[in-house]
Structure 1
Amino acid sequence: MTETEPYVQRGPGDLVTAEDWNEVQRKIFEDIRKEAKKAADGVVRVPNADDSDHIEGKDLNALTEEITKRVLDQVRGRSGYQQLFKVLKQGEITVLEHKLGTAPLVDAYKLEYFRVVCREDDETTDAYATFFLHHTSERKIRVPGSGSGSSRDSVDIQPKDFPELGVPFAELLARYKVPYTDTTSLDDLETEFWKAFFRDPNDQFNDDQYCHSPWFERCCKEQQSVRQLKEKGDWDDIVFQMRPRKVLNYTDLPLVTGEPPRALTRPANVLVQHLDNNRTAVWFEGDALHDPDEDGVEFKAREYIGVDTFDQELKVMLLLKV
């Protein structure tokens, strides 16, 4: 690609299809591989060097793939697409200064609270989170029961009878431009990640509603580096779990016998108003509505979060696209 020859030619207002995006990815990969090979061929080879075909243990294919991922993440950031995480409070208007130069399409997803097991300061706690860092091997985690002599409880980190959830941690580090090297410890990396993640335009979430798992805590205390995690094969198995959900035309039971069912949308009561070509307002009216209670989960989450916060606050993921 050159500055005057785009990978896929499209005009203003044209729809960018999945096929277009796949073609862009393929051509970016081809260009990077070609340039990387040209640079590698120009290097004076060192006789008898066992790793002369590798850089930091990676061959040309692995290096090309890693560079391509970073380039694509930058492309997404410049494509007029934004992903925001906001805390909407009852009766307050949140103004999004997206600076996209036109009114974007806005899609809203409620961030569900889900049960997790947090480990911090040598203490394991049962919590309800919106964001959770863990290892893919942690599908169930035990947590001490409440009260003396209580048996240990088992918490499902992945939902039952549902596809596995989790965004690779490495992908988020690239998206939020968190710098690190192979000698950076996981402990320091997590600290810098949360700083970047909760930076404007995202909101700061309550610190008791995001955490990491016992596996993550153990690696932090051992000061394991990125290099060590890669060598052990754990680096790609660290994931960031969240549960943004949207259900349209959800049929609820009538409040009064004999009345027809209500048609609800999720997230509940979220309203969007474009203020101008660079600002959009978002707010919600009334109490936050949550999913029907299953096995007392909603009651326990409400108790953990706090009644006022649970009823008068809505955590959402907003997608903005030009």
Structure 2
Amino acid sequence: MLDNDPFTTFEPGQIISAAAMNAMQSKMRAEIHKQIAEALAALTEVDLSKDSNALEGHSAQDLLSKFLEQAMQKFPGHTGYRKLFKVLEFNEPNLIEHELKLCPLVDLYELQSFDVICADDDDKRKVEARFFLYHTSEKKISMEGPNGTETVEIEKRGETPFSIPVSEMLDYLGVEYIDETSLGDLETELWKAMFAPPNDPFDPSDYCHSPWYERCCREERTVGSLKAKGDWDDLKLKMQPVKTVNTPSLERDTTSTNRHPPEILVEHHDFDRLSLKLRERIPIGNGDDLANVCLMVLLKV
């Protein structure tokens, strides 16, 4: 295979099936495995007293697995795939300049809000959020409120949790960090990357962190110290993207609030731009104000 030969050839406008994508990923993994194995085999031996057949305690197989994991994390960015976070206002077009050079398939998931206990300095408050940073030890979080102790389940017993490892989210967003980076600085960069264009800025009330995070930020703990104490892999981001398969309008109860997302118009303007428009009024309170809809938008060509 030449360096510039594609693993699988697709023609413009061709529908790309899941089977074709899976086959291409298998070819990529096999080629990456082959090249890394050849590179490792070609390495000259070093003084065993200095290296002992390992690099910082990692064997060749450990390194190979790590390289493969990182390569596959980069895969979506090179296959015409986008994941965006958007906020739609009623009847206002939201333009997305995706630059994918074709009209992508568009899939929409509403980002539901959920109860959390946020921490800021010594203040704890029970609120609803759409993005929440926490430690896996905080499956339940409690606080003292005006009516006694209040408890929120972050990971509900018997249910599959909504949780993404923070390290994987950082890799996906391309946030760079080193062992000396503080957790507080890393959180700031995470939120900046998540809500940078072509994503939409979210209201600060939509995201926060847990009491465990707050303590670590005050102590200025670093990535390296979190890894050393085994906490790095226990850092999670919770969000709940949901979609229901809705029945035709003549058959459904138009007063139902269980349709996610509500009625949204998707328009492809050209091969590089599309727009989303919320066409359903969602009243707040007495109906004078209208709610926005927060989305996770998936684009694929």
For 1:317, the equivalent position in structure 2 comes to 296
User: Cα RMSD over matched residues?
Assistant: 2.9
**Gap change, CA 1:34 and 1:56, over 3 Å in 2:** farther
What is the identity, as a one-letter code, of the residue corresponding to 1:142? S
Does 2:162 match 1:165?
A: yes
For 1:137, the equivalent position in structure 2 comes to 137
Shift of 1:283: 1.0
For 1:76, the equivalent position in structure 2 comes to 76
Shift of 1:261: 4.9
**In 2, Cα distance between the equivalents of 1:17 and 1:261?**
31
For 1:205, the equivalent position in structure 2 comes to 202
* Normalised TM-score (structure 2): 0.86
SS class of match (1:48): helix
Out of 250, 253, 257, which is 1:262 matched to? 253
Out of 276, 287, 308, which is 2:270 matched to? 276
For 2:183, the equivalent position in structure 1 comes to 186
**Gap change, CA 1:60 and 1:9, over 3 Å in 2:** farther
What is the identity, as a one-letter code, of the residue corresponding to 1:241? K
For 1:255, the equivalent position in structure 2 comes to none
What is the identity, as a one-letter code, of the residue corresponding to 2:253? R
The size of the alignment, in residue pairs, is 297
**In 1, Cα distance between the equivalents of 2:270 and 2:125?**
45
For 1:121, the equivalent position in structure 2 comes to 121
SS class of match (2:168): helix
**Gap change, CA 1:103 and 1:208, over 3 Å in 2:** same
Mean Cα deviation higher: 199-208 or 177-186: 177-186
SS class of match (1:262): coil
1:4-153 equivalences under 5 Å are 4-40=4-40, 42-49=43-50, 52-145=52-145, 147=146, 150-153=147-150
What is the identity, as a one-letter code, of the residue corresponding to 1:116? V
Contact 2:13–2:102 (CA under 8 A) maintained in structure 1:
no
- Deviation per residue, 1:75-133 (Å, 9 max, x gap): 21121111110111123111111111121111111110111111112211111001111
Shift of 1:158: 2.1
SS class of match (1:144): strand
Residue ranges of structure 1 left out of the alignment (5+ in a row): 253-258, 290-301
Out of 226, 232, 238, which is 1:235 matched to? 232
SS class of match (1:175): helix
Percent identity, aligned pairs only, is 37
* Normalised TM-score (structure 1): 0.81
Contact 1:269–1:284 (CA under 8 A) maintained in structure 2:
yes
**In 1, Cα distance between the equivalents of 2:115 and 2:233?**
23
- Deviation per residue, 1:123-181 (Å, 9 max, x gap): 11111001111122221110222x2xx32111011245531211111111111111111
Does 2:279 match 1:285?
A: yes
**Gap change, CA 1:142 and 1:193, over 3 Å in 2:** same
Residue ranges of structure 2 left out of the alignment (5+ in a row): none
**In 2, Cα distance between the equivalents of 1:278 and 1:119?**
41
